[in-house]
A = this chain, B = another copy of it.
């Protein structure tokens, strides 16, 4: 498929991902109706689908196919979605709205929301294990992707970041600790997405290393941009309340270094990430580079 601009590329792939996600839980499976409904509710709630698009873009950059990358793309979106459901719970961030709709627990109750999150996390590994094999990718390669997913999403990865975020309060957290939170809570799943795409496409170790550096940098830039938008963004575009970090006394980059220096940091990180990709001679890097610029300029 030929997409003239990065916006078309994102839109086109997001639509494919939506279709695949809608079918990810086989219709013939006997699953309690409320569980299926609750999983679908959050999985199909829109969202930018940035992580699955990164899986596909990285696969294509390394001469792999979008088809082969699609199952793992769905897996990472399931992991991202479960993390949002659990993060929104009253025991954690206690959010009533997400992407302009009621959060999962407001719709289905806390118990079902907890279990729907658990089910999505578990099913992500099913999707990755089963369907990636259907595209003729070797078991060794799929296993490396699964190992990465468990590492980047687990206790030393995303969940570690969530715990650190929960513990962090304004006045108590240093800038280095904030970086730990952002790197794990946000960058880790982005790094996973890029490396998984690379592995599916057959990237060399050097290229995987470059994808990791790229992901770490644009992941951190992505989260700082989120922090900035929470201060200066438009609630209707964002689909959620602004200035929530201030209200929740959350530490952020703007809190520590101000808005201008935060914007500068987003630019620098993006450039550093792009350089890593260029230096590693990834076969077809254009979409990845465009994606990095697109993320830096987004307003939602």
Q: Which residues of A contact B (CB under 8 A)?
A: 25, 29-32, 34-36, 39, 82-83, 86, 89, 91-92, 109-112, 114-115, 117-119, 121-126, 129-130, 133, 138-140, 142-143, 146-147, 149-151, 153-156, 159-160, 162-164, 166-167
26 A-B pairs, CB-CB below 8 angstroms? A32-B163, A34-B163, A82-B118, A86-B114, A91-B110, A92-B111, A114-B114, A115-B162, A115-B163, A117-B118, A118-B121, A118-B159, A118-B162, A119-B154, A119-B160, A121-B121, A122-B150, A122-B154, A122-B159, A123-B154, A123-B155, A125-B149, A129-B143, A138-B139, A139-B139, A139-B142
Return chain B residues, CB-CB under 8 Å to A36. Answer: 155
CB distance from A162 to the nearest CB of B (A): 6
Return chain B residues, CB-CB under 8 Å to A155. Answer: 25, 29, 31, 35-36, 39, 119, 122-123
Count of this chain's copies in the oligomeric assembly: 2
CB distance from A106 to the nearest CB of B (A): 13
Return chain B residues, CB-CB under 8 Å to A86. Answer: 114-115, 118
CB distance from A219 to the nearest CB of B (A): 17
Determine the residue in chain B with the shortest Cβ distance to A132: B143
A32-B160 contact in complex given A125-B149, A133-B143, C-beta closer than 8 Å: yes
